């Protein structure tokens, strides 16, 4: 897939001048010796492999582990840009929580005619078990990842909200550690906001949402599907960094009305469960009966105030792509303000007028499944053959409500390091947001994903994307 039209280069302006964000970096870069940089670029991979920062790939060789390629040139955002983004992110996350609360209570937004009832009725991620329930501290989405793309100096858009269990934060942290280990002099020269206190803030934020039944300092545990899960490294990393237990479903059971973990000294209650398993697998008594990853009866304990589940079950309703298209109205409805961060223009194929337009313009558009993720099951019109487009057209026609379409955006570029020097590649950005009962905290930085192939717009790690350290400059 290639871009059409003007692409915004984050490092350099139209006549090649270095933009403010990158001026210090550029000065440092010019003093570096190409040989050393090339060596460090290769060393980076060794560091990741040694420390075991890998993700597992399903299907292939039994539990094959891969590295996500890392690029040594940081993605840099100025303090002013970040301030503006933060305000928009905070507004959006506040609205998301209010929205989810409303969906499981009076559904004012539906009554007000701002959201069609059918979006909820036919939505498998909407959980009837959550109706009328107040999660501890009133928080639904304890951790949110907001995917942003940029197309111009002031043009940032939200591409996707991740309100279930966003992953990738360990890469944000390890990318920074690796950069500091490799280029200490660079950090002495350029003042960069720190990201390393994320695990501590996460632990604090989770503890602040302890359930009524908690006594003393809240016990936090991370629930992982196990060592063969693609994100196991991250689960272990976060548990380690938070000083929390890393539990699997088989370690947990309901004891005396609490969810308890099997320790060497017997069963001990868990107060807050930072779960990294999907809703479907959480409780075989309530959801999928064949699930071995969850805890039978945990939903009953949850509903009786015995445990906090983070993120709350049923938050997926707020991040499917059909709901996404209503986010501008949602933000306005709950905050009374105009959205500070715009959506990418989105056509809903469920709407007959939109459908007609989408089918007409198919070769120019990106079409996504409403519940899809990871870059799978989508059509990128400009990068597809006539045959592929024709096939996809059939899918859309037979199930229009399963699809949305967006224009093919000219994502901004950042330089990556190649042996031939710096070369621009398309990027996106996922900042991580923590929600407590009394505040919303955004870590200054996030995960920048980069499409390593020249011209490519697909940044997903499952499809050849890499990552970069993301810098927010200090004031």
Partner 1 sequence: MLGRTANGLFWMFRYLERAEHTARLIDAGLRMALTRDIVAAEEEWRSVIATAGQRAGYERQHRTYTGIQAWNFMLRGEGNPQSVLAMLAQVRTNARTARNRISGELWEVVNDAWLSASDMLAKPIGQNQIGEVAAFIRRVAVLAHGAMVGSMMRDESYHFARAGSFTERADAVARILDIKYYLLLPSLSWVGSSLDTGQWDTVLRSVSGDRAYRAIHAGQIDARGIIEFLVLDDRFPRSLAFCHAMLRAELAALARLHGQEGSANALMRDADTHLANRTIDDILQQGLHQFLLDIMRRNDAIAAAIAADYRFLA
Binding site for partner 1 (CB under 8 A): 49-52, 227, 232, 236-237, 239-240, 244-248, 250-251, 261-266
Shortest spacing between CB 91 and partner 1, in angstroms: 35
**365-369 and 403-407 strand pairing:** antiparallel
CB of 299 to partner 1, least distance (A): 21
Shortest Cβ 276–partner 1 spacing (Å): 14
- Min dist CB 224 to partner 1, Å, is 10
Torsion sign over Cα 350, 94, 277, 429: positive
Q: How far is the CB of 50 from partner 1 (least distance, A)?
A: 6
- Which lies closer to partner 1 via its Cβ, residue 227 or residue 390? 227
Nearer to partner 1, 239 or 322 (CB): 239
CB 253 within 8 A of CB 295: yes
Residue 192: C-alpha distances to residues 70, 195, 270 (Å): 19, 9, 37
Q: For residues 386 and 278, what is the distance between their CA atoms, to the nearest angstrom?
A: 36
- H-helix segments, 162-197: 169-182, 184-189
Least separation in angstroms between residue 219's CB and partner 1 is 12
Structure tokens at 446: 């996030």
Q: CA 179 to CA 445: how far, in whole Å?
A: 14
**Closer residue to partner 1, CB minimum distance, 73 or 246:** 246
Please enumerate in sequence order all residues whose Cβ is within 8 A of that of 25, keeping only pairs 6 or more positions apart, or say none.
Answer: 73, 74, 76, 186, 190
User: Is residue 311 reached through a cis peptide bond, with omega within 30 degrees of 0 on the bond before it?
Assistant: yes
Smallest separation, CB 21 to partner 1 (Å)? 33
Q: How many CB atoms neighbour CB 38 within 10 A?
A: 14
What tokens appear for 311 in the block? 């993120």
**Choice between 201 and 268, CB closer to partner 1:** 268
Of 182, 220, 224, 226, nearest to 199 by C-alpha is: 220
The radius of gyration computed from the CA coordinates of the chain, to the nearest angstrom, equals: 23
CA 247, 251, 253, 259 dihedral sign is negative
Cβ proximity to partner 1: between 266 and 352 the closer is 266
Q: CB of 264: closest distance to partner 1 in angstroms? A: 4
**Per the structure block, which two tokens stand in for 12?**
């350099």
Q: What is the DSSP letter of 208?
A: T
Q: Nearest approach, Cβ of 266 to partner 1 (angstroms)?
A: 7
Smallest gap from residue 436 Cβ to partner 1 (A): 23
User: Taking the complex as a whole, how short is the minimal distance between the CB of residue 79 and partner 1, in angstroms?
Assistant: 32
Instruction: Name the residue nearer to partner 1 (CB basis): 65 or 280.
Output: 65
- Of residues 75 and 176, the one with the C-beta less far from partner 1: 176
- The residue among 239 and 459 lying less far from partner 1, judged by its C-beta, is 239
In the bound state with partner 1, the residue whose beta carbon lies nearer, of 235 and 321, is 235
Residue found by looking up tokens 């996030």 in the block:
446
Closest CB to partner 1 among residues 223, 366: 223
Q: What are the Cα distances from residue 76, in Å, to 31, 183, 470? A: 19, 15, 6
Q: Kindly tell me which of 54 and 460 has the beta carbon lying closer to partner 1.
A: 54
- Count of C-beta atoms within a 10 Å radius of residue 296: 16
Q: DSSP string of 70-98?
A: EEEEEEEE-HHHHHHHHHHHHHHHHHHHH
> What is the C-alpha separation between 315 and 301, in angstroms, rounded?
18
From the number of C-beta atoms within 10 Å of its C-beta (0-12, 13-18, 19+), residue 148 rates as buried
Nearer to partner 1, 50 or 386 (CB): 50
- Closest contact distance (angstroms) between CB of 240 and partner 1 is 4
């Amino acid at each position: 897939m290639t871009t059409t039209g003007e692409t915004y280069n984050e490092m350099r302006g139209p006549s090649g001048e270095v933009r403010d964000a990158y001026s210090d970096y550029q000065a440092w870069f010019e003093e570096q010796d190409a040989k050393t940089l090339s060596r460090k670029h290769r060393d980076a991979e060794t560091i990741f492999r040694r420390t075991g920062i890998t993700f597992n790939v399903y299907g292939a060789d039994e539990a094959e582990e891969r590295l996500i390629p890392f690029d040594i040139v940081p993605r840099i955002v100025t303090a002013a840009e970040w301030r503006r983004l933060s305000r928009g992110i905070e507004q959006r996350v506040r609205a998301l929580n209010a929205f989810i609360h409303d969906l499981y209570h009076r559904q004012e937004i539906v009554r007000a005619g701002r959201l069609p009832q059918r979006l909820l009725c036919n939505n498998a991620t909407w959980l009837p078990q959550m109706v009328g329930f107040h999660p501890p501290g009133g928080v639904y989405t304890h951790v949110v990842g907001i995917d942003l793309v940029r197309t111009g100096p002031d043009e940032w858009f939200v591409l996707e909200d991740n309100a279930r269990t966003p992953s990738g934060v360990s890469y944000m942290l390890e990318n920074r550690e690796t950069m500091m280990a490799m280029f200490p002099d660079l950090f002495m020269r350029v003042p960069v906001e720190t990201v390393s206190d994320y695990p501590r803030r996460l632990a604090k934020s989770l503890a602040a949402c302890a359930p009524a039944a908690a006594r003393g300092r809240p016990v936090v545990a991370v629930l992982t599907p196990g060592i063969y899960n693609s994100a196991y490294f991250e689960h272990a990393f976060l548990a380690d960094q938070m000083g929390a237990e890393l539990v699997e479903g088989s370690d947990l059971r309901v004891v005396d009305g609490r969810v308890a973990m099997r320790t060497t000294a017997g069963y001990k209650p868990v107060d807050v469960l930072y779960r990294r398993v999907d809703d479907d697998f959480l409780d075989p008594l309530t959801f999928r009966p064949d699930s071995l990853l969850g805890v039978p009866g945990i939903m009953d304990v949850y509903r009786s105030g015995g445990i906090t589940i983070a993120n709350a079950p049923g938050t997926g309703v707020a991040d499917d792509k059909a709901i996404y298209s209503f986010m501008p109205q949602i933000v306005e409805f709950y905050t009374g303000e105009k959205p500070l961060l715009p959506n990418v223009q989105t056509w809903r194929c469920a709407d007959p007028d939109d459908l007609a337009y989408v089918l007409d313009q198919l070769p120019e558009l990106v079409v996504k499944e409403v519940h899809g993720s990871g870059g799978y099951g989508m059509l990128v019109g400009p990068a597809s053959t006539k045959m592929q487009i024709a096939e996809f057209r059939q899918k859309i026609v037979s199930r229009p409500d399963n699809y949305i379409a967006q224009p093919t955006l000219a994502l901004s570029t950042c330089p990556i390091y190649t042996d031939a020097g710096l070369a621009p590649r398309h990027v996106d950005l996922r900042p991580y947001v923590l929600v407590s009962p009394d505040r919303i905290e955004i870590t200054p930085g996030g995960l920048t994903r980069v499409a390593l192939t020249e011209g490519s717009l697909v940044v997903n790690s499952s499809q050849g994307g890499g990552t970069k350290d993301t810098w927010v400059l200090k004031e």
